[in-house]
A and B are shown apart, each in its own frame.
Chain A
């Protein structure tokens, strides 16, 4: 069997096993996104926005907050965690790629995070009676997969970057809220100051979530916005991937040079 496939698969399964054993998983996956959805609805209602306008922001924004929390908490710090546990050196000695192993772990976290989207969708539709109807189910699924993959690749960049610092918790908190705002999860990025928007546009999540919302609200097959979103997600994901590979190779090199595979 291909060693890349072995490590990807094993990373995916290991992460599932770890998540199953962690009670925080339930909080990230269900409690946090549903709670956020309630808060955001109250805010939108307070300012008098119609539910037609905010429904997709609330449901998919809150849902993907859950996915993002999973990527950040379980996937993104996976390499750092391996180092803390003392398993990173042992992983390093195996003949497979640590990079694909980590990617498998992050992909697993992001994929299981989809239960957050499902939970908020169900609560939004059946409890809060939000007007949600998926107009293009096929492209909706495509956009979900696209979002999961791009978030995972972004998580891989973070996972490598976290190896350079010991203050992972601090950066995790910072990243969590920054992405809520900059990625336009809960409101359109058009409300952000003009100078902030380039940062938002450099985040593939911004485009991916737009694709999700377009596939829900209109016939996405005929929407140029959807295809533009898809193209941007593909391009930015490729850029993130290259950054992750370069960063990972650099970290691997300095870790062996400085003997820091087990230092944390």
Chain B
């Protein structure tokens, strides 16, 4: 299978100084490794998820791959072009869509925003108008195309971002947390559009997200990065099979039970305990390594002091894999 994105030990370090004067004198510097010898490859037409906690190096990686930031070591090729030697060739064939509300001209209409980028990418006037109309239709904001962006909802702005990113028909799309802060309905619609970009438009999508269910639902393969280092890279199913040794168990207790997690966390085989209170019940989500402890042991322990309403045993999700990998 053809690799359209390939990295070769790509790394990025930042040097931090405590003050301006120490920077001038070169004293007290601290090296922060944002990305460390990353090696990944993404195939043509693939929807590739790039996951990691905050500050793991996801956005730094996207910026290096899109030529917005120079790596301190290593390199990458995009569609065969080296990001260091042929950045202009790379830029023509990619697009970056950042999540959030920045990156748009708020005082202009959605159509004017599109027109600016269509012109700058050299689309001629007849092609430009048709393409803008088609893309605004595709992302579902054609009816508000002539309203100012400042009047758009967060979801509409995000959809405009996506349409803007597609204006020059790029081969590869880098999407940096595109569903961040969107309500579930809008996020669902946007996910559908992103999936269609791969299946119908044959685009390659490099997606970063914090939402594990999103990556699970959308991505053909995912890579997990933690503190700048790649810690897993496979299909969601394989990752769940390989690393999903922790079984999530949901236990509902009657009444508000404060600090119940302390009873469980010290037990062998309990990987994590999360608790929440709702409608006079306490909901516990416990991650168990069934080789070391079984559900019955936990239930009988809790039964001694609390009234159990229900116990539900699930199968490992990508989120469980993610928590497991990033915790260790």
Contact = CB atoms under 8 A, between A and B. Distances in A.
Are the chains A and B members of one assembly?
Answer: yes
Interface string A6-47: 110110001001100110000000000000000000000000
Contacts of A1: 122
Contact of B70 (A22, A90, A92, A257): A257
B17 interface: no
Contact of A95 (B70, B104, B106, B121): B121
Contacts of A89: 68, 96, 98, 103
A3 interface: yes
A6 B122 contact: yes
A259 B63 contact: yes
A223 interface: no
Interface of B: 14, 60, 63, 66-70, 88, 91-92, 94-96, 98, 100, 102-108, 112, 116-117, 119-122, 148, 164
Contacts of A92: 68
A21 B102 contact: no
A218 interface: no
A91 B120 contact: yes
Contacts of A90: 96, 103, 117, 164
Interface in A92-150: 92-96, 101
Given A101-B120, A261-B68, A21 B96 contact: no
A261 to B, nearest CB: 6
Given A10-B120, A18-B105, A93 B91 contact: yes
A176 interface: no
Q: How large is the interface on A (under 10, 10 to 19, 20 to 34, 35 or more residues)?
A: 20 to 34
A169 B148 CA distance: 26
Contacts, number: 79
13 contacts: A6-B122, A7-B120, A10-B119, A18-B107, A21-B108, A87-B104, A89-B96, A90-B96, A91-B120, A93-B91, A94-B91, A95-B88, A95-B91
A71 to B, nearest CB: 19
Given A9-B119, A10-B119, A18-B108, 17 more contacts: A3-B122, A10-B120, A14-B108, A85-B104, A86-B102, A87-B103, A89-B96, A90-B117, A90-B164, A92-B68, A93-B67, A94-B121, A95-B122, A96-B122, A257-B70, A259-B14, A259-B60
A256 interface: yes
Residue in B92, B96, B116, B122 whose Cβ sees the most chain A Cβ within 10 Å? B116
B69 A256 contact: yes
A17 B146 CA distance: 13
A173 to B, nearest CB: 23
Which 9 pairs across A and B sit closest by C-beta, in order of nearness?
A86-B102, A86-B103, A21-B107, A94-B120, A259-B69, A10-B119, A93-B91, A96-B120, A257-B70
Contacts of B121: 94-95
A17 B92 contact: no
A93 B168 CA distance: 12
B113 to A, nearest CB: 9
Interface string A232-264: 000000000000000000000000110101100
